[in-house]
Amino acid sequence: MKFKIFLGIIFFIFLSFWFLGQLFFSFGDLKEPLIFVVKPGDNFLKVSTNLKKAGAIKSSFFFEIYLIFSNQTKILKAGTYQILPEMSIIDIVKLLTSGKTINWRLTIPEGFNIREIENRLKESCLLTFKNIRENCDFDLKSLKIKDFQEQFSFLQEAPKESSLEGFLFPDTYELPFDIDNVKIAKIMLSNFEKKVFLKFKSDFQNQKKNFFSIITMASLIEKEVPSFKDKEIVSGILWKRLETKMPLQVDATINYISGKNKFRISFEETKIDNPYNTYRYLGLPPTPISNPGLESIRAALFPKESPYWFYLSTPAGETIFSKNFKEHLLAKEKYLP
């Protein structure tokens, strides 16, 4: 009897060490890091099955038993994780319950419009998640100002039916795996509020111009000239044209209509019947044409006076200023292809 008890104890000890070995020292078949997704709503059995299929663990049974006995079946967190080949079951459970997910790092350059932001989102999503995210198509242009006016006070002066063009602040973002159109918009609008509106709030309030017109002007300046020094002068020229009822004649508005990026606009294009055509219609376009950065917004806020009324940008990125239309025509012939 004692011998049987002794054998039972030995067997139990052996079984315990074997079980612990499966948890601590049993690894999957991974040869390189694995990007693994826990989707919202996935239960521990689904996660276990997916880990086994991906080669991250050798046994679903031991993974599930460990979760049950450690009372962690309900605390696996949705997200995108990086699982390393040297991770044991214990390590993987720690990771999936920690919430230390891989964020999607995305950079939106200054001056991108909504269409360009959507394309950048799709390209980056496909590259980052390589078919593990079901949908990488985004439709930010369908979102309207009215959908966010209650949450963001700086949108109060903007037309309710307008898109968010102008307010999707260009920056580098860390986005979660399950990001959608509304979540992206809120993140970018919150960033705009923090880095633009709150930073320049007193300056905006001291201006005779309304906030929406300043951002619209900044969006034109962003697309027209690259350097801050030139932006300040161009801002002065454009505000001066507005005050004297002179057409803005901003080539970037034609490119916004056509979706092209031309240095020289044709005479026919200046006749396009579109409210964004600042050759044909007086005043600012109905909405911003891009999402400007801080320098362009600062230039729109603080224009620099000059004797100039005209300017052009060369293919090399240089800005040529002219005091009258005759000088401007000569500059176009000299600098534009």
Per-residue pLDDT, 73: 78
Global pTM value:
0.77
Per-residue pLDDT, 12: 43
Per-residue pLDDT, 27: 53
Per-residue pLDDT of the chain in tens (337 residues, 90 and over written 9):
554 554 445 544 444 434 444 444 455 678 888 888 888 889 989 988 898 888 888 778 777 887 787 888 788 888 888 888 888 878 888 888 888 887 788 999 999 999 999 999 999 888 877 666 778 889 999 999 999 999 999 999 899 999 999 999 999 998 877 789 999 999 999 999 999 999 988 888 888 888 999 999 999 999 999 999 999 999 999 999 999 999 999 999 999 999 888 777 888 999 999 999 999 999 999 999 999 999 999 999 999 999 999 999 888 889 999 999 999 999 988 888 7
Name every residue whose Cβ is closer than 8 Å to that of residue 58 and which is 6 or more positions away in sequence: 26, 27, 28, 29, 52
CB 199 within 8 A of CB 191: no
Count of CB atoms situated within 10 Å of the CB of 235: 25
- C-alpha span between 213 and 219 (Å, rounded): 10
Per-residue pLDDT, 296: 97
Count of CB atoms situated within 10 Å of the CB of 120: 16
Domain 23-98: which CATH number of 2.60.120.280, 3.30.70.20, 3.30.1490.480, 1.10.3720.10: 3.30.1490.480
Query: Can you give the residue ranges of every domain in the chain?
Result: 23-98, 104-197, 201-335
- C-alpha span between 171 and 49 (Å, rounded): 38
